[in-house]
Chain A
Amino acid sequence: MDILSIIWIIVMPFIGSLVGLTYMGIGRKIIARVQHRYGPPIFQNVVDVIKLYSKRSAITHGVMFHLAPNIAITGTISTLMFVPVLVGENAISLFSFQGDLILILYIMVFGCLAMALGAGQSGNPNSAIGVSRGLTQMFGYEIPFVIALVTLMVQNETTSVQNIIAAQDSFMHWNIFQSPFAFVAAMFAFLGMMGNKPFDVPFAPAEIASGPPSEFGGKYLALMQTNRGMFAFVKLVLYVDLFLGGATNFAILLVKTFAFYLIPLFVGIVNPRFRTEQAMTFFWKWPTAIGLAGFLLVLL
Chain B
Amino acid sequence: METIPFILSILFGAAVLAYLVGKFNYILKVGVSIVGLIWAGWLFLGLQGTLSSFTFKMLGFDIIWRINPLSWLFGMIIFGLAILTAIFSGSYMKGKERVDFYCFAMCITVASMFGIVVSGDLLSFFFFWEIMTWSSFLMVIYYRYEAQAAGLRYFVMSMIGAYAMLTALLIVYAQLGSFLFDVLSAGWSGFSLTLQIWLFVLFVIGFAVKAAMMPLHTWAPDAYTISPAPFTALFSGALSKMGIYGLALLFFVFGAGKLASSVITIQGVSLPGYILAWFGAITALLATFKAIVQDDAKKLLAYSSIGQLGYIILGFSLSSSMGVTAGLYQAVNHSIFKGMLFLAVGAVFYRTGTRKLSEMGGLITRMPYTFFVVLLGIITVAGMPPLSGFTGKWLIYEALIEKHLIFLAVVAFGASTAAFLYLYRIIFTIFLGQRPKRFDEVKEVPWMMRAPMLILALLTVYLGFYPYQLLDLINQAQVYMGIAPFDLSHSMLFNSYGNVSTITVMNIVAVVFFIVFILFNTLYKRSRKVGLKDIHTSGEVPGEEINLHYAVDFYQPFARGVSIFLKRSVSKIYASLADNLEGLFDVMRYVYTGNGQTYALFVVIALAFLFLVKDFLV
Contacts and interface: CB of A to CB of B under 8 A. Distances in A.
Contacts of A66: 527
B382 A113 contact: yes
Chain A interface size band reads 35 or more
A147 B390 CA distance: 20
Interface string B538-569: 10000000001110001101101100000000
Contacts of A132: 424, 550, 554-555, 557-558
A150 B390 contact: no
B427 interface: yes
Contacts of B548: 123-125
B614 interface: no
A247 B413 CA distance: 29
A209 to B, nearest CB: 6
Contacts of B560: 277
Contacts of A100: 497-500
Contacts of A59: 527-530
B524 A219 contact: yes
Given A95-B504, A98-B499, A154 B406 contact: yes
Interface in A48-103: 56-64, 66-67, 70-71, 73-75, 77-78, 81, 95, 98-103
A84 to B, nearest CB: 14
B368 to A, nearest CB: 8
A143 B562 CA distance: 14
A107 B413 contact: no
Interface in B340-377: 362, 364-365, 368, 375
A112 to B, nearest CB: 9
Contacts of A124: 535-537, 548
A140 B421 CA distance: 12
B433 interface: yes
A241 interface: no
Interface string A207-231: 0010000110011000100000000
B159 interface: no
Contacts of B382: 106, 109, 113
A22 B404 CA distance: 41
A160 B364 CA distance: 39
Nearest to B554: A132
A123 B409 contact: no
Contacts of B114: none
B557 A276 contact: yes
B384 A110 contact: yes
A123 B535 contact: yes
Contact of B527 (A57, A133, A276): A57
A217 to B, nearest CB: 9
Interface stretch (A23-31, A114-122, A169-177, A190-198): A114-122
B524 A58 contact: yes
Contacts of A70: 513, 516-517, 520
A163 B494 CA distance: 14
27 contacts: A58-B524, A60-B528, A63-B364, A73-B516, A77-B508, A98-B501, A103-B500, A106-B393, A107-B384, A109-B382, A120-B432, A121-B432, A123-B434, A123-B533, A124-B535, A128-B428, A132-B558, A136-B557, A139-B420, A142-B417, A147-B410, A159-B498, A160-B498, A163-B498, A223-B516, A276-B558, A298-B406
Interface of B: 362, 364-365, 368, 375, 379, 382-386, 390, 393-394, 397-398, 401, 404, 406-407, 409-410, 413-414, 417-418, 420-421, 424, 427-428, 432-434, 492, 497-501, 504-505, 508-509, 512-513, 516-517, 520, 524-525, 527-533, 535-538, 548-550, 554-555, 557-558, 560-561
Given A70-B517, A143-B410, A150-B410, 13 more contacts: A63-B364, A66-B527, A99-B500, A99-B501, A103-B500, A117-B427, A124-B535, A128-B428, A136-B555, A136-B557, A150-B406, A158-B498, A277-B560
